[in-house]
Structure 1
Amino acid sequence: MAGKLETRNNIVLIGFMGTGKTTAGRLLAERTGRTFVDLDEEIERLLGMPVSAIFAQYGESFFREQEQQIIRQIICRSNIVFATGGGAVLLEENIRNLQQCGLIITLKCQPEVIIKRIVGDTAVRPLLNRENRLQVITELLQERCSRYETANFCIDTSLISTDEVVKKMEDLITIWKDSILLAKSI
């Protein structure tokens, strides 16, 4: 498996909404010469409508099926930074496929910070179109916690800038590549 990961040279970002996957992912792709791919943007492009409209018209189950299909296609690509949606890890098949795709980094964040980051952004975050968003976030984080822990590494983005997040990711990529080289030499 190490050889596959090395030749694909992909970085996969998982984590809850508002943790910085898209923002930091774009910058990481730019700095490392990779192509940036955002799962939600791919779904929107494919279906020709925003995520919120997909949820409203077809429901969450349909949306998760679209995620699954696109992940199957994207894992064949090379030299990408792939930002998944926060719930993409809910299906075990997605986790297995992402593990074949490359290095996985979870971006995590405190619920109170997530709320501040997504204020006024509920139109594109349909799971938060409810009362008591902080409670919803806390419950969803607890529900998904074990899935996010399947990553190779984790970065808490709560109190650091996007530049600091990207620097940490670059350091983790170096560690990951070094571990692949070490494994090949043994």
Structure 2
Amino acid sequence: MPAMDYIAGNLIFIGLMGAGKTTIGKCLAQRLGWQFYDSDQEVVKRTGVPISTIFELEGEASFREREHAVISDLSKLKHCVIATGGGAILRPENRQLLQQSGTVIYLSTSVDCILKRTAQDKSRPLLQVENPRERLEKLFQERDPLYRDIADHIIETHSQAIPMVVNQLIQQLNLYEPSDTDR
């Protein structure tokens, strides 16, 4: 897709769990002919165990260390689509790496939509609580300002089909005209 040639770095998806980062990221990568990476799946590949196991045995802090190492490595790549875990933006150094390595896209959606999308998913350790809605609302309040702070683009995903979201994103990116210093 020639209109995307000006993008020197990666396309990086951020947002809460269930916002569509992996699904939309894979679709966009396929359209662009770029490699796709999911930072959570990279942690799983490196450790050989599910994220829920890392949380259970080592705690969230240990997972965040592993996540940071993956983000650090992925940020060195070029022309990739990267889906990050929902909490990747909690560390200032991760936010800086993401911003420096490409175009950051915040996929925003409602708590109701996330609850519907994740209702049967037992692999999300942060939702294995008595009141998932309360937990998601708290995560949204904590993380939404961080997502918005580093996002180059914000896309609402709760009411659109995946191909429509991908088309909207491509249209937004095509509005950008690279300056002489970007070429």
Bigger drift between 51-60 and 38-47 goes to 51-60
Q: For 2:76 and 2:62, how far apart are their aligned partners in 1?
A: 23
Q: Per-residue displacement from partner, 1:51-108 (whole Å, max 9, x unpaired)?
A: 1111111110000011111111111101100000000000010000000110000001
TM-score normalised by the chain length of structure 1:
0.91
Q: For 1:146 and 1:183, how far apart are their aligned partners in 2?
A: 32
* Equivalent runs, 1:73-84 vs 2, <5 Å: 73-84=73-84
TM-score normalised by the chain length of structure 2:
0.92
Whichever residue aligns with residue 181 of structure 2, its letter is: K
Give SS of 2:18's match: coil
Q: Per-residue displacement from partner, 1:10-55 (whole Å, max 9, x unpaired)?
A: 1000000000000000000000111000000000000000111111
Confirm or deny that 1:67 pairs with 2:64.
Answer: no
Give SS of 1:12's match: strand
Q: For 1:118 and 1:98, how far apart are their aligned partners in 2?
A: 25
5+ long unaligned stretches in structure 1: none
Q: 1:135 to 1:183 in 2, by over 3 A?
A: farther
5+ long unaligned stretches in structure 2: 1-5
Q: For 1:56 and 1:175, how far apart are their aligned partners in 2?
A: 45
Confirm or deny that 1:106 pairs with 2:106.
Answer: yes
Confirm or deny that 1:125 pairs with 2:124.
Answer: yes
Name the structure with the higher helix share: 1
How far did 1:172 drift? 2.2
Partner of 1:141: 140
Q: For 1:147 and 1:72, how far apart are their aligned partners in 2?
A: 18
Partner of 2:162: 162
Identity %: 38
Q: For 1:128 and 1:183, how far apart are their aligned partners in 2?
A: 46
Partner of 1:182: 179
Q: Per-residue displacement from partner, 1:102-137 (whole Å, max 9, x unpaired)?
A: 00000010001100001110x210001001111110
Partner of 2:30: 30
Q: For 1:104 and 1:59, how far apart are their aligned partners in 2?
A: 28
Whichever residue aligns with residue 96 of structure 2, its letter is: R
Partner of 1:7: 8
Q: For 2:17 and 2:168, how far apart are their aligned partners in 1?
A: 19
Whichever residue aligns with residue 72 of structure 1, its letter is: S
Q: For 2:175 and 2:100, how far apart are their aligned partners in 1?
A: 18
Q: For 2:14 and 2:7, how far apart are their aligned partners in 1?
A: 19
Partner of 1:39: 39
Whichever residue aligns with residue 125 of structure 2, its letter is: P
